[in-house]
Structure 1
Amino acid sequence: MSITPIPPLDRLQAATAVLAAKRRTGLAWADLGRAIDRSTEWTTAALLGQHPLTAEQAAALGSALELDAPVVEALELPPVRGAHVVDTSEPIVYRLQEMVQVYGRTISELVREEFGDGIVSAIDFEMDLRRVEDPKGDRVVITLNGKFLPYRSW
């Protein structure tokens, strides 16, 4: 009888395991951010496969979430970024797309007017999400803070 080795996990499979462990342990994303001294937003993105984690960070998060060794190892793999890893039918993601469809051109025009010809970086970037209480219904404030990178002539 031969033993078939279990293939290593990838980052997307690790993200699924993280979500299950988060539900099982009852930890909040903020708890996990504090475990590695990073922002809630960055840590969440990293655990969902969008940012690299060091061996130390993966081990700390694995311990907090009580993850098996193969999942912790997969958290150290390179990130998997791109449209194919985002469920655009998820209602919040869909509405964010709608916001960009409605206001994307406006944002582009206002950035160009204020900064010149260039882009807003998603590499040198920070995000913050917070609740603002409002008597008509609480508000979600999402701050996208990216470095302006001008196009250059050569």
Structure 2
Amino acid sequence: MAQVPVTQTARKMLTETVIQAKAERQLSWAAIAANSGLSREFVTAALLGQHPLPASAAEAVGETLGLAASEIGLLQAIPIRG
């Protein structure tokens, strides 16, 4: 997985988008992770900006949440933590 230069602001905005989509669609973290092939805990942490998702999982989660292609790509970027 390549490191992509992503600002903390962009990643925080994506986290807000994820939380909003989760609420609007009335989804649980388990439902979001269901088609990803990964654990609920791993997917939740990734969606909250702790680590990247593999491409296939990002696609599955993005489809569930109705994310744009650019947002799905951002889920695959290694976050900046400081």
User: Which bracket does the TM-score occupy, shorter chain normalised?
Assistant: 0.7 to 0.9
CA distance in 2, matches of 1:33, 1:80: 23
Higher-Rg structure is: 1
Matched letter for residue 29 of structure 2: W
**1:59 and 2:62 correspond:** no
**Structure 1 segments of 4 or more deviating over 4 A?**
none
Deviation, structure 1 residue 57: 1.2
CA RMSD, aligned part only? 1.9
Q: Matched residues in 1 for 2:69 and 2:14: separation?
A: 11
Task: Give, in whole Å, the separation in 2 of the partners of 1:39 and 1:28.
Answer: 13
Contact 2:36 2:57 in 1 (8 A): yes
1:25 Cα shift? Answer: 1.1
Matching residue of 1:80: 80
What CA deviation, in whole Å up to 9, does each residue of 1:73-117 have, x standing for no partner? 2111112334xxxxxxxxxxxxxxxxxxxxxxxxxxxxxxxxxxx
Q: By how many angstroms is 1:48 displaced?
A: 0.8
**1:80 & 1:28 partners in 2: Cα distance?**
26
Return the alpha-carbon distance in structure 2 between the equivalents of residues 59 and 21 of structure 1: 15
Moved more, 73-82 or 22-31: 73-82
TM-score, length basis structure 1 = 0.44
- Structure-1 separation of matches of 2:24 and 2:46: 19
- 1:10 deviates by 2.6
Give the equivalent residue in structure 1 for 2:4: none
Size of the aligned set, in residue pairs, is 75
The percent of aligned pairs where both chains have the same amino acid is 40
Tell me, yes or no, if structure 1 residue 22 matches structure 2 residue 32. Answer: no
- Structure 2 residue runs of 5 or longer lacking an equivalent are 1-6
**1:11 Cα deviation after fit:** 2.1
- Compute the TM-score of the two structures, normalised by the length of structure 2: 0.77
Cα distance in structure 2, aligned partners of 1:14 and 1:39: 20
2: CA distance, partners of 1:26 / 1:66:
13
